[in-house]
Amino acid sequence: RLTDFSGYLILVVAVVLTLTFLIWGAHGFDLSRLTTFVNTTGDLGGGYVPTARTALVAFLIGLLYPLYTITGFDASAHTAEETHNARVAVPRGMIHAVLWSLVFGFVMSVSFVLASPDLVATAKDGGN
């Protein structure tokens, strides 16, 4: 029961955060933010956080973000021994965990990007 509660709590908090950013975020969303690439690795001493000395470092830092999906199918694998019809239910649960993490994570990320009043100022303020 506690596991079910924590799952629902995480879902409710994610939905509330996403709706909060979309409703009370910056007015007049600029959808071009979702398709425009801006290199905010910046020059050394340019004030951007984290300071990336090369594109490789920026790429590796960017890889940290999708790692949260690992916890979804990892949790499904750990509960396999407690599952009825595990041969079918566990792979289905792993696939669902990754797909739903992708959908909700993408929507939540989009809401954060759209709600930010100034992306360059946000990148410079990353360490504060």
Boundaries of every domain in the chain: 2-124
- Average pLDDT, whole number, for the chain? 77
CA distance 66 to 109: 11
pTM over 0.75: no
Span 60-114, pLDDT tens digits: 877 777 776 666 667 767 777 778 888 888 888 888 877 888 888 888 888 888 8
User: H-type helices in 54-118, by residue range?
Assistant: 55-63, 68-78, 86-115
